[in-house]
Structure 1
Amino acid sequence: MSVFSTYVQLGFHHIFNLRAYDHLVFLLALCAPYVLQDWRRVVALVTSFTVGHSITLALATLNVVQYSPAVIELLIPITIVLTCLLNLARAGSAGSRITDRPGPQPVVLALPNLLALAFGLIHGLGFSSYLRELLGQQSRPLLELLSFNLGVELGQLVIVLLILLLGFTLLRGLRVHRRDWLLVSTGAALGIALTLLVGR
């Protein structure tokens, strides 16, 4: 197996497993306001998040930036809490405008994408300790960085697809209201994030 495919698999499995539950919960919070028809906007959000974590993952792995792992472990649940609060504010202000069949909307919204990018910078530092353990003493692991990031991106896209499909099943199959889905999924993410925050 090539180095490229090996690190793609490592990146995929690093995000697509229950040990990465803090990142999974962040993706749940990130996707909660959207439905399957919004997939372009969700891809834009996830890509913004990926750009952010790719930057800091590379900088930290190459020892360009130094950071405190304890601080990053604290900041990751804070990013989830802030995302959830934004969701709840959106649910409260939108009111009846949150419907099961939204009208045409722009693919990129400045604030959510900028926040996803900024929070990705924090999550990238969380990924870097794992990748540095894998790389050992390599000083220029450019191929490994690229393929690991690609694997993480693929894993994230699978996760958000599953979240959107779950939402679609509930909204269309069980006739759950979109606002209820937003509140329940956001509430679950917020509860887990607060538990993490207190524990850390």
Structure 2
Amino acid sequence: MSDFVFYFKMGWEHIIARDALDHQLFILALACVYTAMDIKQVLILVTAFTIGHSLTLALSVLDIIRFPGKWVEFFIPCTIFITALNNIFQINAPGKSARINYYLALCFGLIHGMGFANAIRIMLAKDQSIGIGLFGFNVGLEAGQIFVVAIILVIGLLFLNVLKVKRRDWIFFLSAGVFALSLKMALERFPL
């Protein structure tokens, strides 16, 4: 049980930590097209990301696939700005953007899973309970994502329902900000 708790905490911090801005921006880009009324769809979206993330993480930990860390670190912000750009292009059809985001979450989760693979591979290699470790990490990751999504939806509820910000403006504002930050990250991480 202590292994599960250790890896759960690691998965949670992978999303919640201050240095997890890339994951938080990705979740923001995915979730900003939804409202609090769409909670079921958002949970499916978060789970799609976790499935992609978990699959690649498991394949990496088991040493079935491996990619150069520099390229993975570059591609992670690329997935974020592509998602934000999709939101902007679909600004007048947030329902269409939301449907596309399911596929983006799953596919881009594969790339994000490789980002943490090296660190967790080393930890799990020393540990005999790879299954418990991966399970605990992924449950912590999912819980962290749900927490971040809940914050986004509550803030969205405040802006959309109380402050009466138009949904289109809300999506554009968040997506443009995420796009700018993630583009900056990608340029800083470009492998030379």
TM-score past 0.5 threshold = yes
Task: Give the match for residue 65 of structure 2.
Answer: 65
- Residues 13-39 of structure 1, C-alpha deviations (whole Å, 9 max, x = no match): 121111111111001101111111111
Q: What value does the CA root-mean-square deviation take over the aligned residues? A: 1.8
Normalised by the size of structure 2, how large is the TM-score? 0.91
Task: Give the match for residue 193 of structure 1.
Answer: 182
Q: Distance in 2 between matches of 1:75 and 1:139?
A: 31
Normalised by the size of structure 1, how large is the TM-score? 0.88
Report the CA distance between 1:7 and its aligned residue. 1.2
Report the CA distance between 1:174 and its aligned residue. 1.1
Which amino acid is the alignment partner of residue 80 of structure 2? Answer: I
Identity among equivalent pairs (%)? 38
Which amino acid is the alignment partner of residue 81 of structure 1? Answer: F
Structure 1 residue 130 and structure 2 residue 116: aligned?
A: no
Q: Which blocks of at least 5 consecutive residues in structure 2 are unaligned?
A: none
Q: Distance in 1 between matches of 2:119 and 2:16?
A: 14
Task: Give the match for residue 166 of structure 1.
Answer: 155
Task: Give the match for residue 56 of structure 1.
Answer: 56
Q: Distance in 1 between matches of 2:129 and 2:13?
A: 23
Kept in 2, the 8 Å contact 1:33–1:87? The answer is: yes
Report the CA distance between 1:143 and its aligned residue. 0.8
Report the CA distance between 1:136 and its aligned residue. 4.3
Q: Distance in 1 between matches of 2:139 and 2:57?
A: 12
Q: Distance in 2 between matches of 1:115 and 1:15?
A: 18
Which amino acid is the alignment partner of residue 59 of structure 2? Answer: L
Instruction: Choose from 106, 112, 126 the match for 1:117.
Output: 106
4+ long deviations beyond 2 Å: 132-140
Q: Distance in 2 between matches of 1:112 and 1:198?
A: 23
- Residues 150-185 of structure 1, C-alpha deviations (whole Å, 9 max, x = no match): 100100000011011111111112111111110111
Which amino acid is the alignment partner of residue 146 of structure 2? Answer: L
Task: Give the match for residue 9 of structure 1.
Answer: 9
Q: Map of 1:147-166 to 2, 5 A cutoff?
A: 147-166=136-155
Instruction: Choose from 165, 174, 177 the match for 1:176.
Output: 165
Which amino acid is the alignment partner of residue 64 of structure 1? Answer: I
